[in-house]
């Protein structure tokens, strides 16, 4: 069930809210928590009920391991728990990739298995690994029942694509249910605004860009240099608005239940260096990789070469987390190189002007997105070849307006794009690098008729564009 679908917005979410608050008022916090847990399981089952037992088995096993670790922090229990979670995700996500890679390298013909990737497994698995590590370290001693732990893992606003929340951030908030609280007017207004703005980003911007981006990446051999750059920039903005839309809708939906999710997306294209980018893009994943991988590998405490190696390993595994494919591993490697280079650059102690640093960072990120988006490494290499051959092609519209470009400079017409995309991309670039982001707008709002009118207008615009919902890009990871 997609956040941008009519069945979610018109049926599932309103019914869940009504049932939740009726249970809270009539029967108390335990009943309200139960309603939210059942709704979350229904939400997950809507995709494929066959994988509900798998998620419940994962939740049960990790809860029991967490009990063991809180009572006696034995490393053997932690190793068992981490191994269980990694084996689970490895089987469903990487088995066929491993078989296919083996066939390519050895020339064997082992058949691929009929395995579907369970929705959200990357997110709820990492979330539970963090829980076990926190229990082992003694970072979380809050008493909780199995049902509260299950709600922490399965809470539907963040179940499928994050944020990757920590137990200490979420489980104590469920205590609010015991107090039969009511969310404030600001929480409800902010939640509705985040939902509507997220819908607008997804339906009006990201899905519009997809109509121009997807055909280009499916026909890489037919692209001119102009086409390849437009497709690269277009995908960079498509992914930006698609993922930020999901993050904002998740936060907004959670706020309607009085739950505050951690910020997961904070204007990453305003970053002035690659480290700053990773502090802004998928913040909770970056936090997980930092705290549970980069720092245990030595972080920046054991010399420059160890730091660069830790950065490379962290980003390689971060790339692999996104998907079973060499393109994801190479994308992670590119960011590992970027981060390692930035680390060494800082040791030279030379500063670039902020605008130049921002442009360089953004170009590095966007060029790397090409590897991320292409379905194969071969396609990515073709795209890079197209981008840097400069074949002097332009849309027909430009050549019609400025015929001297074709007569004097020998520019040829490319039929792939019309030229309007550049205007849109420039406008989006200005928006994401200069304008206030949604969270800055929402945090400053006060419930009044102006915000109500703006939210209503956005809702009206998105309602006319619902149609057949498209999947959020991060659901595939």
**Which member of 144, 282, 322, 439 is catalytic?**
322
**Cα(13)–Cα(7) distance, integer angstroms:** 9
List b or e across 248-261, with b for residues whose CB sees 16 or more CB atoms inside 10 angstroms: bbbbbbbbbbbbeb
Residues across the chain:
477
Q: 322 catalytic, yes or no? A: yes
User: Which residues are bridge partners to 393 per DSSP?
Assistant: 412
Asked if residues 158 and 253 have their Cβ atoms less than 8 Å apart, the reply is no
Burial of 210 (0-12, 13-18, 19+ CB in 10 A): middle
Percentages of the chain per state (helix, strand, coil), in multiples of 5:
75, 0, 25
**Cα(399)–Cα(413) distance, integer angstroms:** 7
C-alpha dihedral (18, 19, 24, 29), degrees to nearest 10: -130
Can you read off the two tokens belonging to residue 116? 């579907």
Stated as kind and residue range, the H or E segment containing 393 is strand 393-395
Query: Alpha helices of 257-388 — where are they, by DSSP H?
Result: 274-278, 283-289, 304-322, 326-348, 354-373, 377-387
Of 289, 354, 6, 32, nearest in space to 176 by CA: 32
User: Which residues are bridge partners to 394 per DSSP?
Assistant: 413
List b or e across 24-60, with b for residues whose CB sees 16 or more CB atoms inside 10 angstroms: beeeebebbbbbbbebbbebbebbeeebbeebeebbe
CA distances from 62 to 33, 126, 153, 384 (A): 20, 11, 10, 44
C-alpha dihedral (381, 386, 389, 390), degrees to nearest 10: -150
Question: What residues act catalytically?
Answer: 322
């Amino acid at each position: 069930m997609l956040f941008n679908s009519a069945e979610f917005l018109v049926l599932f979410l309103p019914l869940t809210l009504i049932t939740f608050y009726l249970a809270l008022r009539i029967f108390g916090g335990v009943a309200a928590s139960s309603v939210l847990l059942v709704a979350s399981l229904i939400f997950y089952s809507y995709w494929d009920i066959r994988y509900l037992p798998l998620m419940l088995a994962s939740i049960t096993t990790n809860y029991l391991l967490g009990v063991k670790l809180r009572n006696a922090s034995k490393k053997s229990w932690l190793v068992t728990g981490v191994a269980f979670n990694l084996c689970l995700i490895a089987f469903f996500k990487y088995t066929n990739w491993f078989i296919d890679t083996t066939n390519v390298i050895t020339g064997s013909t082992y058949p691929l298995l009929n395995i579907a990737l369970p929705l959200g497994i990357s997110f709820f698995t990492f979330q539970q690994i963090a829980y076990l590590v926190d229990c082992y370290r003694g970072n979380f001693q809050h008493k909780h029942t199995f049902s509260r732990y299950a709600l922490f893992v399965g809470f539907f606003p963040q179940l499928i694509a994050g944020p990757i929340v920590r137990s200490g951030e979420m489980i104590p908030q469920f205590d609010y249910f015991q107090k039969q609280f009511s969310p404030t007017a600001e929480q409800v207004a902010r939640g509705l605004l985040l939902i509507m703005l997220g819908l607008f980003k997804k339906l009006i911007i990201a899905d519009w860009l997809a109509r121009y981006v997807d055909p280009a990446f499916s026909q890489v051999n037919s692209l001119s240099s102009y086409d390849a750059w437009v497709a690269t920039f277009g995908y960079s903005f498509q992914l930006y608005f698609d993922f930020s839309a999901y993050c904002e809708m998740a936060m907004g939906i959670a706020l309607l239940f009085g739950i505050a999710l951690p910020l997961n997306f904070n204007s990453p294209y305003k970053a002035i260096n690659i480290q700053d980018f990773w502090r802004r893009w998928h913040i909770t994943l970056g936090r997980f990789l930092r705290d549970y991988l980069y720092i245990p590998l030595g972080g920046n405490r054991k010399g420059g070469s160890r730091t660069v190696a830790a950065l490379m390993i962290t980003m390689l595994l971060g790339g692999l987390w996104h998907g079973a494919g060499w393109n994801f591993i190479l994308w992670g490697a590119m960011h590992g190189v970027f981060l390692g280079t930035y680390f060494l650059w800082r040791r030279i102690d030379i500063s670039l002007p902020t605008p130049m640093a921002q442009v360089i960072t953004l170009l590095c990120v966007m060029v790397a997105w090409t590897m991320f988006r292409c379905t194969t490494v071969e396609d990515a290499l073709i795209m890079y070849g197209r981008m840097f051959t400069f074949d002097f092609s332009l849309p027909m519209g430009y050549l019609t307006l400025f015929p001297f470009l074709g007569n004097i400079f020998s520019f040829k017409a490319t039929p792939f794009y019309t030229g309007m995309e550049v205007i849109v991309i420039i406008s989006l670039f200005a928006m994401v690098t200069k304008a206030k982001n949604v969270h800055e707008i929402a945090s400053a709002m006060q419930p009044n008729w102006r915000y109500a009118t703006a939210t209503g207008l956005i809702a009206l615009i998105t309602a006319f564009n619902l149609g057949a919902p498209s999947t959020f890009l991060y659901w595939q990871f």
